[in-house]
Structure 1
Amino acid sequence: MGLSISNGVKNFQTIVIAVFAVFAVIGVIFFATQKPNSGIITAEISLWGTMDKNTFNQISNEIGSSDLTPFKINYKQIDKENFDSQLIEAIASGVGPDAIILSQDKILKYENKIFSIPFSSFSERNFKDSFVEGAEIFLNNEGVIAFPITIDPLVMYWNRDMLSNAGIVKPPVYWDEIYSMVKKITLKDNAQNLQRETIAFGEFSNVNNAKEIISALIMQAGNLVTTRNINNKVQSALDEKTGNVVPATESAIRFYTEFSNPSKEMYTWNRSISNSSKEFLAGNLAFYFGFSSELNVLRQKNPNLNFDVAKLPQIRNSKINKTFANMNAIAALKSSANVTSVINVAGYLIGDDASLLFSKYFNLPPVKRTLLAEKQVDAYRGVFYDSAIIGKAWLDPSSTETNTIFKDMIENVTSSRFRVSDSIKRASMEIQNLTSKISGEPISR
């Protein structure tokens, strides 16, 4: 079956014409005048990222097998731990790539090195109509920072046997349902040591995806962690008051930390327990909060585990349905002398068929609205698709440092070093200092 790339190409040809004038027009004409199967490469770019090289090249080759896609991508996979240092060094030495695959937690780090597309060339309306709402994190007040190619939402994996044995018919849709389930599922010995856990909430170090889980709770409660103001500056919003009786972030943190408090009825987790993923795979934990991309890993590590997947529970009667989502996008670098080709190639990578290939090979839902509207027969994919629609993230000034900030925020509460409100204020100030550091503004003391 042939690949349909016309919509993506049209949009990006518009960009090319608007931004690069005569040179880009010549390039577009050159694309249009090539005969099928001519074998002539009219756009060649170097692209760096952390995605698996074999998988990415498979997708690129399948897109490029069309008679209408005479391009070549020289993709280089770099380990996550080394990506930043290698890229910054390469750019400084003048040997950097033309483009990078940008995760949403790297936007602030590289925004000043990225060639953004103004809304006059690719409208905000066009972007919003094409991609899920969460992908709007790749927009700033002036234009498009990068074009999304994948989304990986946070979901809830649950142990079917544990719920059945406890007489629970279905997994929770709302967070308040967890309370009654804790009483039925959690098992303690005579010394009140936990033998079986319901939910891995309340700690940080032994909870997989803890920062993302907490972020989802904060967003559901009505707050953001960071926001971009009218001057295009990013600032902390963690401690913002939303008009609720209990501030949104405070409500989220109180809920999360309740489950590790031995004096509470819902006590079901503590820091002496092994990692939440291991506990779930061992059949000792009823609910595990992980990303859609973890499905195959869970299956491979314990093929005998009887588990299913559901959307992240929400707040009852809330008008806001959200989960956290990781996203990747393709971004052109200012340092490249080949930006025209990057934009042309990106046009193919965001086409519907390319989006389906990314979805297929990375076992992720597509990032395009039109594709997410399609009914899914596979039970897992149906949940992933629905979760992608409500998936959101926040502008992270430094994923490593904010991980520490979130860890301290939780442990300051669980150890009673700070009141919840004070711990949040402290975390908010630290995040603000990180964003100020990036923008060159004064640091608060």
Structure 2
Amino acid sequence: AFSPKDWEEFSQYVVKLTEKDEDNQIKKSGAALGQYANVTHAKDILAMVFLQTGNPITSQGAVGGGFKSVLVSTAGNYNTPSILEFYTSFADPGSPLYSWNRSFPDSGDAFSSEDLAFYFGYASELSELVNKNPNQNFLAATVPQIKDAKFKLTRGRVTGVAVASSSKNLNTALTAASQLASSDFAAKYAQALGVPPARRDLLAQPPADTFSPSFYSSALFAKSWLDPSPKDTDNIFSAMVNSVLSNSLSPAEALKDASSKLDLLLLK
């Protein structure tokens, strides 16, 4: 089965798979990118590609220091404006990559109605996608990477377990937390939720079905970032994308604005 290895290869296939009429109106979409409101996981997709450049989005200062945004940091060769420009080009009618606009429904629904070729989602969505259209044939693959990158990265949802120092039953709480991280519990928990387990020893043994090998291999290089307030950062990323689409700001200006707003959140 075909799986684009990098974004360059992915872009080539999006162009081939997107169907347009003589008026440049999209009939079938190769990829749901570029817009924000009707792109499921738009923030996660953008954040993932930023992270793929090596930019951690947020970073902690000196020992004991607070966190700050590094979206526009010049310390590394991240070139985040080019990433934002690449993303929004999929919603630009003048771009060869034009494949998505606001007239489409939510990308998950477009995929299930077979009007969308590539959908970016999580392993936990598999059963929902299958139930939406039981007759649809699709496969799972690892996300495209930046070409010639020295590492692989995908976006992972991360939930941690912590024990409050003020707990009245500290030892019991620590025991419970330890059990939650055990191999036996992790395996059963992952199976119940339909997601890969958060343990390397278990990831080495994926179930022998069509989808699990891609999910398990992706979990080995899944990363996240310190998101101070998911709802607020969603608004920040939305404004960033829409300001570029409306030509109100350049990609560099939009990123600078988003970075400043992210810094304010991190101060709270």
Question: Same fold judged by TM-score > 0.5?
Answer: yes
Q: Would you say 1:213 and 2:41 are equivalent positions?
A: no
* Structure with the larger strand share: 1
Which residues in structure 2 correspond to 1:42-191 (within 5 Å)?
170-191=2-23
Task: Name the residue aligned to 1:345.
Answer: 176
SS of aligned partner of 1:308: coil
Q: Would you say 1:401 and 2:222 are equivalent positions?
A: no
- Following superposition, the deviation at residue 350 of structure 1 comes to 0.9
Check conservation: 1:216, 1:322, Cα contact below 8 A.
Answer: yes
- Following superposition, the deviation at residue 183 of structure 1 comes to 2.8
1:13-68: CA deviation from partner (whole Å, max 9, x where unpaired): xxxxxxxxxxxxxxxxxxxxxxxxxxxxxxxxxxxxxxxxxxxxxxxxxxxxxxxx
Could you say what the CA RMSD is over the residues aligned between the two structures, in angstroms? 1.4
- Following superposition, the deviation at residue 187 of structure 1 comes to 1.0
CA separation in 2, counterparts of 1:373 and 1:233?
37
Check conservation: 2:141, 2:214, Cα contact below 8 A.
Answer: yes
1:216-240: CA deviation from partner (whole Å, max 9, x where unpaired): 0001112111112222421111111
- Following superposition, the deviation at residue 317 of structure 1 comes to 0.7
In structure 2, stretches of 5+ residues that fail to align are: none
CA separation in 2, counterparts of 1:242 and 1:306?
45
1:94-131: CA deviation from partner (whole Å, max 9, x where unpaired): xxxxxxxxxxxxxxxxxxxxxxxxxxxxxxxxxxxxxx
Which residues in structure 2 correspond to 1:197-236 (within 5 Å)?
197-229=29-61, 230-236=63-69
Check conservation: 1:173, 1:314, Cα contact below 8 A.
Answer: yes
Aligned letter for 1:301?
Answer: K
What is the TM-score normalised by the length of structure 1? Answer: 0.58
Which residues in structure 2 correspond to 1:285-304 (within 5 Å)?
285-304=116-135
CA separation in 2, counterparts of 1:228 and 1:355?
30
- Following superposition, the deviation at residue 207 of structure 1 comes to 0.3
- Following superposition, the deviation at residue 289 of structure 1 comes to 0.2
- Following superposition, the deviation at residue 182 of structure 1 comes to 2.5
- Following superposition, the deviation at residue 243 of structure 1 comes to 4.2
- Following superposition, the deviation at residue 329 of structure 1 comes to 2.3
SS of aligned partner of 2:176: helix
Task: Name the residue aligned to 1:428.
Answer: 259
Q: Give aligned-pair identity as a percent.
A: 35
SS of aligned partner of 2:140: strand
1:285-338: CA deviation from partner (whole Å, max 9, x where unpaired): 000000010000000111011111000110111112111110222222344312
SS of aligned partner of 2:213: helix
Task: Name the residue aligned to 1:391.
Answer: 222
CA separation in 2, counterparts of 1:204 and 1:297?
22
Check conservation: 1:281, 1:298, Cα contact below 8 A.
Answer: yes
Aligned letter for 2:69?
Answer: S
Aligned letter for 2:258?
Answer: A
- Following superposition, the deviation at residue 359 of structure 1 comes to 1.1
Closer, same or farther in 2 for the Cα pair 1:367/1:415, shift >3 Å?
same
Check conservation: 1:223, 1:248, Cα contact below 8 A.
Answer: no
Task: Name the residue aligned to 2:161.
Answer: 330
In structure 1, stretches of 5+ residues that fail to align are: 1-168, 438-445
- Following superposition, the deviation at residue 191 of structure 1 comes to 2.3
CA separation in 1, counterparts of 2:81 and 2:163?
39
CA separation in 2, counterparts of 1:171 and 1:324?
17
Deviates more, 1:173-182 or 1:406-415: 173-182
Aligned letter for 1:220?
Answer: Q
What is the TM-score normalised by the length of structure 2? Answer: 0.95
CA separation in 2, counterparts of 1:222 and 1:348?
34
CA separation in 2, counterparts of 1:421 and 1:212?
20
Aligned letter for 1:398?
Answer: S
SS of aligned partner of 1:374: coil
Task: Name the residue aligned to 1:414.
Answer: 245
- Following superposition, the deviation at residue 211 of structure 1 comes to 0.5
- Among 108, 115, 140, the alignment partner of 1:284 is 115
CA separation in 2, counterparts of 1:340 and 1:248?
48
Check conservation: 1:324, 1:391, Cα contact below 8 A.
Answer: yes
SS of aligned partner of 1:197: strand
Which residues in structure 2 correspond to 1:246-261 (within 5 Å)?
247-261=78-92
Check conservation: 1:204, 1:410, Cα contact below 8 A.
Answer: yes
Check conservation: 1:212, 1:324, Cα contact below 8 A.
Answer: yes
Check conservation: 2:82, 2:251, Cα contact below 8 A.
Answer: no
Task: Name the residue aligned to 1:23.
Answer: none
